Structure 1
Amino acid sequence: MTEVSADLGTGRASVGAVLDFAWTAAEFTATEVMAGTALTRSTAIDAVDTLVSAGILRELPNARMAGTYRSGRPARRFELVPDLGVVVGIDAGDTHLAVTVADPLRTTLVQHRTEVDPEETPEERRAIIIDRLRDALAEAGRTRDDLLAICVGVAAPVNRDGISPPHPDRFWERTNPGLAAALRDWAPAVEIKNDALLAAVAEGTQGAAIGCRDYVALLAGERFGGGVVVDGHLLHGAHGGVGEGVVFDHIIGVGSAFGLAPALHHQLLAAVDAGEVDVNSAVGRLADAERIDPRRVLALAASGDPDALLIAGQLGETVARVVGVLGSMYDPERVIICGAVAESIEPVLVAARAALPSQLHLPAPQVLASSLGADVVSLGAVASARRAARERAVPLLAERRLAARA
């Protein structure tokens, strides 16, 4: 429920109810507000008029002026003001940075994605994030004054204050370089969240988990990390560490929190060394690369290449062990493999599904590939920023505007 101060005059509950209704409605009348909120007519009209006075809702031309009036008194029609401000979602990954500027409802205005150096210092990383934020706002023709909410996804556990715990190799300090403090004054609502948690938000709002109350969104490209939803609730933990991938360092057959891209490279090298894959084959020639794009191998597997299918099958056994752990810990209905690697991962999932039943005693969850691609964290960040704008920033904006008119 939107939090609205009593300063809004007609009562926080009624104004909040109307504001919630307005976010999901396009055009609406007072009668529709009554049906959607259970408010009386007079209370609904008072709350609507308060929000119109605050510049949060606007009254549209009535049916007579719009040319659709037939008979009787035309109803007053309203909508949320479309230009209240903007929200920003940021995917601050280990090797990439994506910044999205969007309106509070449904339209993306600007989206930038760039590669970043994983060896940057925390200070360098923080400066780059802020510079890219400024650049994206400028391209959208907006300023800091237009910001309602910012949500940043980072490859680290994050507590409820936006702070990550110390990491033995300072990895978490570099991926979340004091962003809560650095961005605090940029918008009325600023959130720093774990990237896998935001992937779970995206899958639940627009991906493979719509309507599902128990699922894990597994970011599996460079590192394993899970966003966990149980009984319809995102799990967080005292330090934001639910779903943290370090557990896989201790799982036989997985052995590392590093994700499918490093695992595929390791398995390919091992298969070449063992003579299972010809070094001169299409797949074998990739083994000498410093870095392998797993999608190249998986595309070959999808086309039936026997060497690629061998690697995909071995990788599927790794995925089955990972999903088996998640299945035993959280009992999800679905585990959704997310990130850029999901676009071509089906040959791996075929093998994983076959191996999975032996990995746990509970019924095996469905293992699905996300359809949201490399943008999954960005989509979750924007969705979370929009929710923060709806619940916190816009009510604050209404209070300030009404106070200025008083």
Structure 2
Amino acid sequence: MKKDYTLIATAAMGLESVVAKEVKDLGFENVKVENSRVVFDADAAGIARANLWLRTADRVKLLIGEFEAKTYDELFEQTKALPWEAFISEDGEFPVIGKSHKSKLYSVPDCQSIVKKAIVERMKQKYGIAQWLKESGALYRVEVALLKDQVTLTLDTSGSGLHKRGYRIGQGEAPLKETLAAALVQLTNWRGDQPFYDLFCGSGTIPIEAALIGQNIAPGFNREFAAENWSFLSADIWDKALEEAEDLANYDQELHIFGTDINPKMIDIAKANATEAGLGDLITWKQMNALDFHSDQLGGYIISNPPYGERIGQKEEVEKLYEKLGKHLAQYPTWSIYIMTANEKFETLFGREASKKRKLFNGFIRTDYYQYFGKKK
């Protein structure tokens, strides 16, 4: 693949390897996995494809430059030396956001202000503008990130975070991010032709993401991205990427996906979200207690994010539920069960040790993803 740009797919802690696998599967090269990000090479078409297809990344950023800066003068001069005019149009709107960690330049507002001034000076020079820049055109969000005096300057190609697929009409009290839900599915061996249950489906995010994966539907198919309006990227690349996504979708794949929840209101919300995603007929929703799960199938997958019992008074109730669930699901030894929870006593309560577990973060909550592999039929 031709290298024109370096892209950075940002990732939630614990999901870097999942994002990296997706990046490699899309055919991108020189893939480097770092803390909370995956760096890779791409051509212009790759900017569109990465945004459209990455299910578990938070955003796709375009790297403009990296350098060391220990003084504000260094930050200004090295920012100004970068070819901003090759990316930002003359009338482009370019707010600057920032973050700084373990760096001599620790004042984020000052760093943002200096980067903004440096870009303005560069743009005025290159575009031959004496006064101020209008900033009435497309949005180019600049980020200045400092880590141990190393400066990374990027443009955000995504706009809204990639978890915003465009189908969520309603949600519950603690909605699961779509990117994390997709990762929970991708961390299993589930294939579209196997039974799939979420016994605590809430607003339906896990079953909806499973359906998108099962039919190979691009997660960004129903939304827009900031870079669609950028002057240096032709509209053609976005049209071609959407055409490719349409061609690769396997709408004929039959799915057996079920979402159940004890709360009837959540089932109504899940149905509405699935319909908005264009998956209305593909998922079966049912108001049901998780302990009433029953199946005659010889094997299948249960993937759930049950309540954690974080609030006072709820913990005992939730722990009793985990005990009962463990006993109930022990009747299905050929089923693979995947549960994400923040409760550290889960294995003891559930009644057996997980085949594998993985540390993940649900927002700022540290959780474990307990994986129980079903016995071969």
State the TM-score bracket (shorter-chain normalisation). Answer: under 0.3
Higher Rg of the two aligned structures:
1
Larger RCO (alpha carbons 8 Å, 6+ apart): 1
For normalisation by structure 2, the TM-score amounts to 0.28
Point out the structure with the larger strand share: 2
Point out the structure with the larger helix share: 1
